[in-house]
Structure 1
């Protein structure tokens, strides 16, 4: 058990004053809809440029599901964006470990960057259709049990339904 302070906020992840925000990215790292699109729009072209550089070097085939990598925060108040690719929910295959890995890997990258505060969205619970109650449970349990030097994890939740699910998981 770590000394992480976990807080919940209903709002826009791009407006958070933290050291790093986590982007629920797609494997291309080149922007998309939802949280990914919002972060790229708010952070400006520096984030896309950094993602293109990652694609040209280590991630030519894209970022694998469950992994994480960091770029600049561009014009965001957060210095860093940690990109992670969540799994698409499946009724026939248990992908829980991949979702948990997104949170663990993001915290590992945060530790490498030396950051003290990280804001997460509810990874995979949007267009990837992960049920919000289960996604919240996995997120909270994984962060609570993570071995990390991060002092504050903030779950930034877009609507009341997600906020309630995370509050119940806490």
Structure 2
């Protein structure tokens, strides 16, 4: 009777199990073998405890897709963009749908809004004035929200410029 009172007094802990795709099957360290080939670094190979004779079609663990290798031209283009982006004092983050945060508004006259600016938005404003060849009064920075407001619909001209800058 005393044992049942103790069990009733303790709160039941919820039982949570990890999903099958999160489980990792580890090979004990004693079963690992180390081999070194000539003029290469040492590689670690795992020897399974039981070698299966047939491979099942449905593996309990998901297989990672093979890594895609970019072409050399694309790789150098990405490196150039990353290098240029590193020189800048500002960054324009993309939206969750991987688009540039450029919005056109028509209330109280046409204007274009550039959002999600991180860093020095005043430096980006000066760069946009130079590249879009606009007057200084037409490009304004809201320091509180870090948005740039441009008078007129210039989304068609602004998007390629930001993409060329690497954003």
Q: Is the shorter-chain TM-score for this pair beyond 0.5, marking a shared fold?
A: no
Higher helix share: 1
- TM-score, scaled relative to structure 1: 0.21
Query: Higher relative contact order by CA 8 Å / sep ≥ 6: 1 or 2?
Result: 1
TM-score normalized by the length of structure 2: 0.21
